[in-house]
Structure 1
Amino acid sequence: MIVLEDILRDRGSRYAASAGPVRGRAGIEAFLATLRQRRKFAKATHHSWAAVLSGEGPLKGDDGEAGAGAVILKMLEREGLVDQIVVVTRWYGGVHLGGDRFAHVVTSTRAALAALRDRPIQELE
C-alpha cells in the first residue's frame, strides 16, 4: 500500500491519496479497512475510491464526495490499470470548495498514479 499524506491543502481541507493492488470486491474492502485503521485516516471525512477489477470491471465509491469516484475511475481507465485501487482521502475544513474539489481529486489521483508507476508490483504486495 502506498500512502501519500498531505498532498495539498485548500481553505482548511486536506487531501491524501493511497494506492495499491486489490483482488475482487473483498480486496477493495480490505484495502479501505486497512487505511481506516490508521488513526489519522479514521478521522477523515471522505475516502473516495475507484478500481478496475479484471473479473468484475470498473467499481467506484464517492463516500459522500459526489462525483469524486467517477473522476478517479476515468483516470485509472485512461492509464489502463487493472486490479489497482486509488483512494483520495479528504479531511473537510469547514468551507465548501465547489468545483475546485474536483481539481484536487485529480491532483491527488495523479500523485498516486505516479507513485504506482515508480514502484514495482512486488513491492506493493
Structure 2
Amino acid sequence: MLNDRGSKYAVSGCDARDRAEVDEALKDLKRDKSYAKATHNTWAVLLSDGGPLKGDDGESGAGMVILRMLEREGLEDHLIIVTRWYGGKHLGGDRFRHVQTCVRAYLDELAA
C-alpha cells in the first residue's frame, strides 16, 4: 500500500487470457467492499490472442501507464489492477508515478 496526501494505492493482479476473464477478475475484486468503494480501479492486460486492453476507470491515462510497463516486460495474459482511494488532494503528475511504483513492486514480486 502506498500513501500520498491522503490518497491510498494498492496493486493486484492475476492471469487473464481473454476479456471475459478480465471482467470476472474485476468483478471478483469489487466483491471486496473496500475495493468497490475505491475511487479508481485502473487496469491493463496484454492478451496473447487479442492484443492490449486497458481501463482508466476515471483516472485518465493510468491504464496506458500500466500497459506500457506490461509491454516493456513482455508479460502477456496477466491482468494488473492499480486501485486508488482518493484522499481529497489532487496529485497532478505524481499519480502516474504512484501507478508506476505500484506496478513495479507487483512485477518484482511476481519475478521473485
Give the TM-score normalised by structure 1: 0.87
SS at match of 2:59: coil
The count of residues paired between Structure 1 and Structure 2 equals 112
Long gaps (5+) in structure 1: 1-5, 119-125
Long gaps (5+) in structure 2: none
Aligned partner of 2:95 in structure 1 is 101
Return the offset for 1:88.
0.3
Output the CA distance in 2 between the equivalents of 1:83 and 1:56: 10
Aligned partner of 2:49 in structure 1 is 55
Q: Choose the corresponding residue for 1:77, options 66, 71, 77.
A: 71
Aligned partner of 1:121 in structure 2 is none
SS at match of 2:76: coil
Output the CA distance in 2 between the equivalents of 1:99 and 1:114: 23
Aligned partner of 1:35 in structure 2 is 29
Question: Moved runs in structure 1, 4+ residues, more than 2 A?
Answer: none
Output the CA distance in 2 between the equivalents of 1:60 and 1:83: 13
Percent identity, please: 59
Aligned partner of 1:90 in structure 2 is 84
Cα RMSD between the aligned structures? 0.7
Contact 1:62-1:69 at 8 Å conserved across structures:
yes
Output the CA distance in 1 between the equivalents of 2:79 and 2:109: 12
SS at match of 2:3: strand
Give the TM-score normalised by structure 2: 0.97
Output the CA distance in 2 between the equivalents of 1:111 and 1:38: 22
Aligned partner of 1:46 in structure 2 is 40
Output the CA distance in 2 between the equivalents of 1:13 and 1:46: 11
Q: Deviations over 1:71-94 (max 9, x none)?
A: 000000000001001000000001
Output the CA distance in 2 between the equivalents of 1:115 and 1:34: 21
